[in-house]
Structure 1
Amino acid sequence: MDTIKVILADDHVIVRNGIKILLESEGEVEVIAEASNGQEAIEKVSQLKPDILISDIRMPIMNGLEATAELKKISPDTKTLILSMHDDEEYIIKSVECGASGYLLKDTTKEEFVKALRSILEGHKYFSGDISDVLVNGYLNKKPGSTSATDSGGTMVKTDYHITKREKQILQLVYEGHSNKEIADELGKSIRTVETHRFNIMKKLEVSNITELIRKIDSEPYIIG
């Protein structure tokens, strides 16, 4: 099999180094360039025309989703594999809409990583099992957002806050009084991942602190039901 030529885009040098060592130890992957932000990634893809751009989402100047969308204009034959710590439904669906050919979490195994690259190179889409579930559920349940209201009979209509399954798990644990560390240990995730989910949850529910969050759940218990 020909060598898979990739460019790595991540704003953390130590992460890029780890990924490079992991991939090149396989023998069939060559990291031909690295980038610390989306804009730099686009420039290097334009120059080098790699097979695949492996990109994080959250980067300065231009994020990974913006770079993915731009990629289709400057190098349509280059595929994008999103490699992220976020399993949030919004990020995953947005990556597909931007044209990504795959989405993996950063805790993936080397075997799955290489399998994803091979599959994408052959023209297929690749999403890990958990991510595939999120995609299916997200697209099946996708509908316009709404706000709290009452119907003509005065009955309260449930608001769709688009809370993901993972967010509901975390929200339940937060409601029960668990700390970020306890939640991270319970779910086998990093504290940073839990913090990111909590931020997204509070943004979706339009609350600014834990007190408001608890009140919101008390008034609308179906949120975690």
Structure 2
Amino acid sequence: MDEKSITVLIADDHPVVRSGLKALINSIGDFEVVADVADGESAIRETQLLRPDVVMMDVQMPGVDGLEATRRIRAALPDTAVLMLTMFDDDDTVFAAMQAGARGYLLKGAEQEEIHRALRAVVAGEAIFGPGIAARVLGYFSTPRPNAPVAFPELTPREREVLDRVAAGQRNAVIAKELFLSPKTVSNHMSAIFAKLSVADRAEAIIRARDSGLGRGSAS
């Protein structure tokens, strides 16, 4: 690595974020940004063309999102590391990124030194997470998991929790407040639930959920 620059591709749909990251990374010295793109499809295409050492990937982008782009990049180019840099800090997104093959997960707002250290770590084959994320990952794996069957196993735990609250009559704003999520994150979970359950709307999702025993808690 000392003989050549570590090459980086940036994927983020916000031009200001891409510009800032590009300036930051190029200023490090032995790093070089070889491309910056605004969506997952472009990230996949440019990564296959340029074969960078690491891709800095946002989660939510138009078209192909960062999680699917990560899966496809890691399947095609296992030597290319992916470092997620995003505003999403909920457990489901973190673990989905890990399952997709990301080697690191940082939140936007990370300090320059933290980004620098994370880039070096993932290129070296290490897994690295921001401090708050790391604590939650460790807590997740240290907590015993029951083996009882659950309703809708195709849903993530967070999606089931959201669906349970929807079936109990809660609106998205209330769910967001009680689960400490942004309304946009709740909306994203609902879109995923509709797709996975093959339902057309909220009413149909509620019927499916209640038929499976969800929604028995008190509505807020």
Same fold (TM over 0.5): yes
* Partner in structure 1 of residue 115 of structure 2: 113
Deviation at 1:4, TM superposition (A): 1.6
2:176 and 2:182 in contact (8 A); partners too: no
- Is the partner of 1:76 in helix, strand or coil? coil
1:52 and 1:81 in contact (8 A); partners too: yes
1:61 and 1:128, CA in 2 relative to 1: closer, same or farther beyond 3 A? same
Letter in 2 for 1:84: T
1:161 and 1:204 in contact (8 A); partners too: no
Letter in 1 for 2:83: L
Aligned-pair RMSD on alpha carbons? Answer: 3.5
Deviation at 1:102, TM superposition (A): 0.5
1:6 and 1:33 in contact (8 A); partners too: yes
1:130 and 1:46, CA in 2 relative to 1: closer, same or farther beyond 3 A? same
Letter in 2 for 1:219: S
1:101 aligns with 2:100: no
Distance in 2 between residues matched to 1:203 and 1:113, nearest whole Å: 31
1:30-179 residue pairs with structure 2 within 5 A? Answer: 30-139=32-141, 140=143, 146=150, 161-162=160-161, 174=177
Q: Deviations over 1:44-83 (max 9, x none)?
A: 1111110001110111121111111111232221110011
- Is the partner of 1:73 in helix, strand or coil? helix
Q: Deviations over 1:87-127 (max 9, x none)?
A: 01111000000100101000111110000011111110111
* Partner in structure 2 of residue 190 of structure 1: none
Distance in 2 between residues matched to 1:87 and 1:7, nearest whole Å: 22
* Partner in structure 1 of residue 25 of structure 2: 23
Deviation at 1:201, TM superposition (A): 7.7
* Partner in structure 1 of residue 183 of structure 2: 195
1:204 and 1:141, CA in 2 relative to 1: closer, same or farther beyond 3 A? farther
Distance in 2 between residues matched to 1:37 and 1:116, nearest whole Å: 22
- Is the partner of 2:182 in helix, strand or coil? helix
Between 1:43-52 and 1:133-142, the stretch displaced more is 133-142
Deviation at 1:195, TM superposition (A): 3.0
Distance in 1 between residues matched to 2:191 and 2:70, nearest whole Å: 25
- Is the partner of 1:219 in helix, strand or coil? coil
1:205 and 1:9, CA in 2 relative to 1: closer, same or farther beyond 3 A? closer
Distance in 2 between residues matched to 1:18 and 1:95, nearest whole Å: 23
* Partner in structure 2 of residue 180 of structure 1: none
1:66 and 1:194, CA in 2 relative to 1: closer, same or farther beyond 3 A? same
Deviation at 1:145, TM superposition (A): 7.4
Deviation at 1:146, TM superposition (A): 3.8
1:141 and 1:12, CA in 2 relative to 1: closer, same or farther beyond 3 A? farther
- Is the partner of 1:115 in helix, strand or coil? helix
- Is the partner of 2:33 in helix, strand or coil? strand
Deviation at 1:16, TM superposition (A): 0.3
Distance in 2 between residues matched to 1:97 and 1:117, nearest whole Å: 19
Distance in 2 between residues matched to 1:202 and 1:217, nearest whole Å: 19
Unaligned 5+ residue runs, structure 2? 152-158, 163-172, 195-201, 203-214
TM-score by length of 1: 0.68
- Is the partner of 1:123 in helix, strand or coil? coil
1:11 and 1:59 in contact (8 A); partners too: yes
